[in-house]
Amino acid sequence: MEILIFGHPALRERAKPVENINGKLKETIDKMAETMYKAKGIGLAANQVGILKRFFIMDVSQREGKNKLEVYINPEIVSAEGEMLYEEGCLSIPGYFAPVKRYAKIYVKAYDINETLIEKELEGISAIVFQHEYDHLDGILFIDRLSHIKRQLFKKWWRKHYKK
């Protein structure tokens, strides 16, 4: 499975709801997990592998050397509060990092791979990654959330590092 890089149109599309949580989706998620771990990422949205469906995976436990994959299908952010600044990166924008302002705490709803409805509160890094991945499903990248000046600097950086 290949991770699409900034500039690919699939990263700018709004993904459609998942209609069936079936074996095929489980297989896809397994492959995505393998791809994410190999790339040493902590989150990967379906858009990033060219699938325009509303689901993503994340694992914020990796740094402790213990894997705990979380799968969010048809996710929703029900409510949010607070503010937090965190240095983000993205597997689709390799090598670039910048601080992004996000909600500090979110209350979310989603289905897991067993079609169980998950309702929970996330904070800290989990809340950040969830919001980042959720944005992907709407075709939004973290660089879109930077100030105008920083976005211009990013464009310059990108041209310099990814000039073909």
CA 138 vs CA 45, 66, 73, 141: distances in Å? 10, 30, 14, 9
Name the one range near Ni ion by CB under 5 A: 9-17, 22-30, 89-97, 145-153.
Answer: 89-97
161 marked as part of a ligand binding site: no
CA 95 vs CA 27, 63, 92, 109, 151: distances in Å? 29, 19, 9, 31, 15
The one-letter amino acid code at 64 reads E
Give the one residue of 15, 90, 122, 129 binding Ni ion; rule: CB under 5 A: 90
Number of residues forming the site for Ni ion (CB under 5 A): 1
- Smallest separation (angstroms) from Ni ion to the CB of 139: 12
Q: Which helix (H) or strand (E) holds 99?
A: strand 98-102
133 is catalytic: yes
90 marked as part of a ligand binding site: yes
108 sits near Ni ion (criterion: CB under 5 A)? no
Q: Return the residue nearest Ni ion (CB atom).
A: 90
